[in-house]
Amino acid sequence: MPSKAVYDTRFFVEYFYSSNSNTLRKLSDNLVQTKNRIVSTVTVYEIYKTVLSREGREVAKLRTEVLTRDFQVKEMTEELAIMAAEISHITNNPMADCVIAATAQKEKTLVITDDPHFNKIKGIRVQWPIK
């Protein structure tokens, strides 16, 4: 397991909504073993929006509070915006993925995801705890 990683929204969707106990165990193990856990503000947005539509405002607030408590939240800066735009220009990936990838590049770490969009980004290392 990495000591530092940026977590993509896909990780949390699986973590919050998977009914597979093996999947949940592997995701939980990853969280425990990764000491320096990072999320982008765009991930906070995506998780709040997803949980809001599935479970309502109160649960969305609770889940995002956990994110902001247990993860370093990296805000969108001008530098990250430009990096993300450059990634988007080359890959035509969705904006959120490009921001998350730019965050990983700036932090010099990998992305925890199974999203194939990240495979198109040169220099981004990807890891998924479920095999």
Question: What pLDDT score does 44 carry?
Answer: 97
The 8-class DSSP code of residue 122 comes to T
How is the chain split into domains, by residue range? 4-125
Q: What CATH number matches the domain at 4-125, 3.30.470.20, 3.40.50.1010, 3.20.20.140, 1.10.3720.10? A: 3.40.50.1010
Q: With a cut of 80, say whether residue 131 has pLDDT above it.
A: no
The pTM of this model reads: 0.95
Question: What pLDDT score does 111 carry?
Answer: 98
**What is the C-alpha separation between 15 and 12, in angstroms, rounded?**
5
pLDDT digits (tens, 9 = 90+) for 73-111: 999 999 999 999 999 999 999 999 999 999 999 999 999
Q: Which residues contact 57 (CB under 8 A, 6 or more apart)?
A: none
pLDDT digits (tens, 9 = 90+) for 9-30: 999 999 999 999 999 999 999 9
